[in-house]
Amino acid sequence: MSIAENLRAVRAAITEAAQAAGRHPSTVQLVAVSKTYPIEAVQEAYAAGQVVFGENRVQELVPKQQALPQAQWHLIGSLQTNKVKQALQAAALIHSVDSQRLLQAIDKQAEALSLTAHVLLQINISDEDQKHGLDEPEADALLADMAHHNAYPHVQVHGLMGMAAFTDDSTMISRQFARLRQARDAFAARYPQHPRLPLEHLSMGMSGDFALAIAQGATLVRIGSAIFGHRG
């Protein structure tokens, strides 16, 4: 199957999962994860109408963003503080803010670049130690600092991101996604109408589990191999 055909099938599956959950399909945005695939594959997807792309490494994000600046690029993988400047210049949204130190570095660079950084906080929902992410109390503390002490004034937090455990147990995966949804809803209720805490997004769901994520409220699904094929 071609990338265009894969994209059509993924979009149809997203629509079906949204409708099954009683949601309007337009409330779920597809982030096409193009990591490891050549720019030609990205261009093919863009020609087929895909606009938002995700990369997990800054070294790969930057040249692809420069080759296709008319697309919208998201950083979805872990970010080192020494690459924050490049990340902010290339990415419209950083999904993977997983520490206070990183948030601090992002705020500082955003100020230096005179821009607002748009981010999600990555939460460890799988309880797997090797997965990056804040735990919920840590995220809560960062948001409270922003809301009550005007901390990180050059940052807007658009929501939460999480990755489910690597398992076939769909009940467990759904439970982890539901936890992320509950955390986002609780934060959004605590900081309503805060201009730097819109908290509208839940980035969860990949090729293997996006239907479960949409059922639990995902607004951004990050899908790679179902569109571009298996990575070598």
Count of residues for the chain?
232
Closer residue to ligand PLP in complex, CB, 36/116: 36
Instruction: Please state, in angstroms and rounded to a whole number, the distance separating the CA atoms of residues 187 and 138.
Output: 12
Query: H helices then E strands: how many in the chain?
Result: 9, 8
In angstroms, what is the minimal distance from the CB of 104 to ligand PLP? 22
In the block, tokens 């980035």 appear at 203
Least gap, CB of 79 to ligand PLP (angstroms): 12
Q: Give yes or no for a contact between 25 and 67, defined as CB atoms under 8 angstroms apart.
A: no
56 vs 109, beta carbon nearer ligand PLP: 56
Q: Which is nearer to ligand PLP, 96 or 151 (CB)?
A: 96
Could you list the residues that contact ligand PLP (CB under 6 A)? 33, 35, 56, 76-77, 163, 206-208, 222-226
Task: Give the residue nearest to ligand PLP (CB).
Answer: 224
Q: Are 150 and 137 in contact (CB under 8 A)?
A: no
Q: Any bridge partners for residue 160, and if so which? A: 121, 202
The nearest distance, CB 123 to ligand PLP, in angstroms, is 13
Nearer to ligand PLP, 151 or 220 (CB): 220
In angstroms, the Cα distances linking 58 to 77, 139, 140, 154, 202 are 8, 24, 27, 21, 22
Q: How far is the CB of 190 from ligand PLP (least distance, A)?
A: 26
Task: State the DSSP code for 192.
Answer: T
User: Quick one: 23 or 35, whose CB is closer to ligand PLP?
Assistant: 35
Instruction: Please identify, using beta-carbon distances, which residue of 48 and 113 lies nearer to ligand PLP.
Output: 48
205 conformational bin, left if phi > 0, alpha if psi -120 to 50, beta if neither: left
What pairs with residue 18 in β-bridges? none
- Token duo for residue 80: 């080192």
Least spacing, CB of residue 214 vs ligand PLP, in Å: 14
| Shortest distance (Å) from residue 96 CB to ligand PLP | 7
Strand 29-33, strand 220-223: pairing? parallel
